[in-house]
């Protein structure tokens, strides 16, 4: 069993809400964290997503035939990565012993809509790559920050799920 600080604190675990469950087996706390969301279409482009009582509105801009009530799915993907890099960035800075007063990030990617649109193409459907510029507010030197960056990238769950293959199993209900 892998040790987990989340697995060791009953009080903390209770606060994680219904979508975040620590599995227990044989009286030992297992480290798996479960996350889940529910979603429904409000119209063909607008999706309402619910996670632990938080509501997220996803839509497409009018130029992509949407109703423009929220950021779109590929912008949400960038947002997920930004949020993850912030959290892990602060954890790693603390471990490395330097003061991080804040982070600013810019993320972007290009995608070819051909596959999305149903064209016969060898192009992939999603971003070809994702570029991130990260500006930490800190006095740490460049050498320290390079090490910090490498560590963040490898430990961020979202960057792992994007950079490396993650099976998606879709079933009809």
H or E stretch at 56: strand 54-58
Count how many Cα atoms sit within 13 Å of the Cα of residue 4 in the half-sphere of its side chain.
Answer: 17
In angstroms, what is the minimal distance from the CB of 9 to its own copies? 8
- The token pair that represents 54 in the structure block: 């938080």
Q: Cβ closer to its own copies: 27 or 48?
A: 48
Phi, psi (degrees; rounded to nearest 5) at 7: -75, -10
Does residue 35 contact residue 49 with C-beta atoms inside 8 Å?
no
In angstroms, what is the minimal distance from the CB of 85 to its own copies? 8
In angstroms, what is the minimal distance from the CB of 27 to its own copies? 19
In angstroms, what is the minimal distance from the CB of 67 to its own copies? 11
Q: Cβ closer to its own copies: 11 or 27?
A: 11
Q: How many Å is the Cα radius of gyration of the chain?
A: 19
Q: Cβ closer to its own copies: 26 or 143?
A: 143
Q: Cβ closer to its own copies: 97 or 167?
A: 167
């Amino acid at each position: 069993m892998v040790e987990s600080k989340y697995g060791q604190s009953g009080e903390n675990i209770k606060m994680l809400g219904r979508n975040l469950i620590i599995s227990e087996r044989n009286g030992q706390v297992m480290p798996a964290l479960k996350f889940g969301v529910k979603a429904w279409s409000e119209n063909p482009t607008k999706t309402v997503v619910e996670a632990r009582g938080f509501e997220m509105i996803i839509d497409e801009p009018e130029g992509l035939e949407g109703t423009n009530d929220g950021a779109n799915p590929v912008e949400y993907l960038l947002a997920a990565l930004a949020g993850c890099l912030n959290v892990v960035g602060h954890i790693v800075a603390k471990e490395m012993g330097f003061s991080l007063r804040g982070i600013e990030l810019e993320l972007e990617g290009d995608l070819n809509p051909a596959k999305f649109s149903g064209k016969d193409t060898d192009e992939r459907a999603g971003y070809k790559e994702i570029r991130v510029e990260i500006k930490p507010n800190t006095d740490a030197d460049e050498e320290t920050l390079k090490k910090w960056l490498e560590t963040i990238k490898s430990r961020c769950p979202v960057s792992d799920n994007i950079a490396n293959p993650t099976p998606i199993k879709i079933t009809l209900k």
